[in-house]
């Protein structure tokens, strides 16, 4: 009986019951979406104050600009490395199993693609800078919130000690309060997960997934290989610890990411789990995880690479190895840059297809299974955040 008290076990049961409920009672499953929406909204409610407070306290806790530079460069470097490895893996797998028979794009239409503005470097850079910090906080633009928190932390190094202490105490208190609320919300996870999963299964229908089974299988295979082989190898190499012990301690966050399909909504859980179960210091978690939720996109990057190569095969366009390498570099660069824009992966997909000269209409074929795959790639995004956070923490302690 004690076994069923574990939250992780309850969540897995919630997922299984949700799948069954979605298949056998789809009409009811569609009606109860409110429960899942409330659960995700409660998690997202915590994100902005938590990110702001934790980045501020983490950076001021470091105590100097030199330390900030060192932890910042390590973090960005590791995030780029894991993203590049996931893209490379996707390219290799798609060359071994080149799925997708050519089909005509006649009659296919993907209306959403026309709503997306052409990509501009100017807009991308401007999306990082908060012109109105209250608007950034209210809209939940994570990258802008992080940038402002960094500036505030740097400014506080220049202030008198008594003012530093006031700000530090204030944000530490906000951080602790958010953690208490997070605990209450996390206890609702099994119910929230049941609701979210059953709704998606009822809405998507199993037959859609079966129709694109090859594509779904390849995406899932790449995501799983990266999660259970590549990331643990990186963790073992840099941190010199048993990667599977650590990933088992923090798996709650990856499961949560799978159910909510939102890195931001998972952030309160990730921050709680790495500190309480993964043995990561408050400062490392407070800086590396919020940044990761914004710029680390292993799952999204590998998924985009596979999707573009699949669409190239559907369109009957042969992409040379050189083309694929350029595609890989583009995906890695964009995954860091486009992070701050809404519906980032769709924006990236349209930008890349336009750049490679492939018709965006083919998105209509794969969009049917996007929600299911979104859950898997978000889970991988979060898993890579957990891995990088641990590495940065171990390197910092040395």
Residue carrying the six token digits 């978690």? 285
Q: List pLDDT tens digits, range 205-257.
A: 777 677 788 999 999 999 999 999 999 999 999 999 999 999 999 998 998 89
pLDDT at 89: 97
Query: What parts of the chain have a pLDDT lower than 70?
Result: 1-5, 105-119, 208, 337-344
Do the Cβ atoms of 226 and 85 come closer than 8 Å? yes
Q: Residue 223 and residue 307: Cα distance in Å, rounded?
A: 13
| DSSP secondary structure, 26-81, as one string | HHHHHHTHHHHHHHHHHHHHHHHHHHHHHHHHHHHHH-SHHHHHHHHHHHHHHHHH
Do the Cβ atoms of 387 and 82 come closer than 8 Å? yes
Alpha-carbon dihedral sign for residues 122, 124, 129, 130: positive
pLDDT at 279: 94
Q: Residue 214 and residue 363: Cα distance in Å, rounded?
A: 16
pLDDT at 108: 64
Q: Among residues 89, 74, 391, 80, which one has the least CA distance to residue 243?
A: 391
Backbone angles phi, psi at 107, to 5 degrees: 85, -10
Q: What Cα–Cα distance (Å) separates residue 204 from each residue in 36, 41, 199? A: 16, 22, 8
Rounded to two decimals, the pTM is: 0.87
pLDDT at 295: 81
Do the Cβ atoms of 378 and 260 come closer than 8 Å? yes
Do the Cβ atoms of 215 and 97 come closer than 8 Å? no
pLDDT at 393: 94
pLDDT at 43: 86
| DSSP secondary structure, 281-319, as one string | -HHHHHHHHHHHHHH--HHHHHHHHHHHHHHHHHTT---
pLDDT at 374: 87
Do the Cβ atoms of 131 and 386 come closer than 8 Å? no
Q: Residue 147 and residue 81: Cα distance in Å, rounded?
A: 22
pLDDT at 367: 79
Structure tokens at 359: 């018709």
Do the Cβ atoms of 166 and 154 come closer than 8 Å? no
């Amino acid at each position: 009986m004690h076994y069923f008290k574990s939250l992780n076990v309850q969540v897995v049961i919630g997922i299984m019951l949700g799948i069954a409920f979605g298949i056998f009672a789809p009409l009811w499953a569609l009606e109860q979406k409110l429960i899942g929406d409330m659960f995700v909204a409660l998690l997202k409610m915590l994100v902005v104050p938590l990110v702001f407070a934790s980045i501020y306290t983490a950076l001021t806790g470091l105590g100097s600009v030199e330390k900030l530079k060192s932890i910042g460069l390590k973090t960005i470097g590791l995030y780029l490395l894991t993203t590049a490895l996931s893209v490379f893996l996707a390219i290799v797998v798609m060359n071994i199993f080149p799925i997708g028979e050519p089909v005509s794009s006649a009659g296919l239409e993907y209306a959403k693609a026309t709503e997306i503005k052409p990509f501009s470097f100017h807009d991308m850079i401007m999306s990082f800078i908060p012109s109105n910090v209250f608007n950034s906080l209210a809209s939940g633009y994570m990258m802008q919130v992080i940038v402002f928190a960094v500036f505030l932390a740097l400014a506080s190094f220049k202030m008198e000690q008594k003012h530093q202490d006031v700000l530090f105490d204030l944000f530490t208190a906000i951080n602790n309060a958010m953690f208490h609320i997070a605990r209450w919300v996390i206890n609702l996870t099994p119910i929230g997960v049941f609701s979210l999963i059953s709704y998606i299964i009822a809405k998507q229908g199993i037959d859609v997934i079966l129709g694109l089974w090859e594509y779904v299988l390849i995406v899932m295979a790449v995501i799983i290989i990266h999660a259970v082989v590549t990331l643990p190898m990186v963790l073992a190499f840099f941190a010199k610890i048993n990667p599977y012990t650590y990933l088992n301690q923090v798996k709650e966050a990856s499961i949560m990411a799978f159910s909510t399909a939102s890195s931001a909504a998972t952030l309160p859980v990730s921050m709680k789990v790495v500190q309480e179960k993964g043995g990561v210091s408050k400062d490392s978690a407070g800086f590396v995880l919020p940044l990761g939720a914004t710029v680390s996109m292993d799952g999204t990057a590998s998924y985009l690479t596979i999707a573009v190569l699949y669409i190239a095969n559907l369109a009957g366009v042969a992409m040379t190895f050189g083309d694929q390498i350029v595609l890989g570099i583009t995906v890695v660069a964009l995954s860091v840059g486009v992070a701050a824009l809404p519906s980032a992966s769709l924006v990236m997909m349209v930008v890349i297809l336009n750049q490679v000269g492939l018709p965006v209409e083919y998105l209509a074929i794969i969009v049917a299974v996007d929600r299911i795959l979104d859950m898997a790639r978000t889970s991988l995004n979060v898993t890579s955040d957990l891995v990088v956070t641990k590495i940065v923490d171990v390197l910092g302690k040395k």
